[in-house]
Amino acid sequence: MFNRKFVLFVEMIIGGIVLLAVLQASANPAGVPVDPEAPLTCITSGDGNWRIEAITGANGEFPVSVACSLSANTNKRCAEYAYTIEQLKKNSISHTASAVSADQDLDSAGPSAQVAVPGIGDPSSGFLQNAAHEYAITYNPNSSVFTPSIVVVEPSVARITTILITKGNVQESCLIAGPGVQDASLTPFTPIVTSQKQLAAGGKCEVELVYNAKGEVVDVKTSTQGCTVDVGPVIIDGEELRDNRSPTGITHGNNTCTTYGPPIPSPARTVCK
């Protein structure tokens, strides 16, 4: 007969094999795969402290074709990836880091940008440390609105990339269109849809709904005095709003607020006056 130690040993081996099989059979991690269609605007993860919006050309194209600035690239055309980053809550923009594919031919970056060697990453945040396929371009604006620019030699077509923003111990990032795919057979990404305006908060606020190429609302803006746009979960009648797919949003709070999403957009945008 087998003694108890031997039985326990066998059980451990079998358990290890089962665990290994489970690990090898695991599915995608949460949030993967992401939509390969690069968005032109995003709200950073976590508390949604910042909004990032790509600066498009006259016809909605991104990146924008410009003249290169380096003498080594004289008579060449370059692709400019520029963004408007704005503060949505109490945290200003202290430090930002953009991921750039190592196969891109960098012409310039600004204002006051620092370019990290692939594998070194951003020394301030640790972003992209030990990554050989991408490198970080960083800025220290210390402002509420910032417009960084990355210019690479054409051809270059936008793909999903990450921009990280930090303020003290707060670090948030989001996926957005950036450099890029180096393929002369491709053309710069042109969004199919733009935006439309409608009234919200019981007709007291004019809002602009921003759409992606699928016709989905990705952001909500307002310039009406006294109206605000909050980003994040919404509680209505004691319960969190989770499935709001109305194209005109849902109005609540005695006609003082209108919420768009979730799940589209996510997190939700709430316009109030």
The residues facing 208 across adjacent strands are 197, 221
Which residue carries 């695991």 as its tokens? 26
In CATH, 41-181 is 3.10.450: no
The confidence score (pLDDT) of residue 111 equals 93
Q: What is the 3-state secondary structure (H, E, C) of 198-264?
A: EEECCCCEEEEEEECCCCCEEEEEECCCCCEEEECCCEECCEECCCCCCCCCEEECCCCEEEECCCC
Where are the domains positioned within the chain? Answer: 41-181, 195-272
The confidence score (pLDDT) of residue 51 equals 93
CA dihedral 249, 253, 256, 262 (to 10 degrees): -30
- Classify residue 9 by its DSSP letter: H
- Strand, helix or coil at 41? strand
Q: How far apart are CA 148 and CA 171, in angstroms?
A: 18
The confidence score (pLDDT) of residue 222 equals 92
The confidence score (pLDDT) of residue 183 equals 57
The confidence score (pLDDT) of residue 247 equals 83
Q: How far apart are CA 220 and CA 210, in angstroms?
A: 6
Give 152-192 pLDDT, tens digit per residue. Answer: 998 888 888 999 999 999 999 999 999 876 554 555 554 44
The confidence score (pLDDT) of residue 18 equals 44
The confidence score (pLDDT) of residue 21 equals 43
Give 252-262 pLDDT, tens digit per residue. Answer: 988 899 999 99
Which residue carries 């989001």 as its tokens? 174
What residue ranges of the chain have pLDDT lower than 70? 1-26, 36, 181-194, 213-214
The confidence score (pLDDT) of residue 213 equals 61
The confidence score (pLDDT) of residue 55 equals 94
The pTM of this model reads 0.63
For residue 71, give Cα distances in angstroms to 44, 67, 68, 74, 75: 36, 11, 8, 5, 9
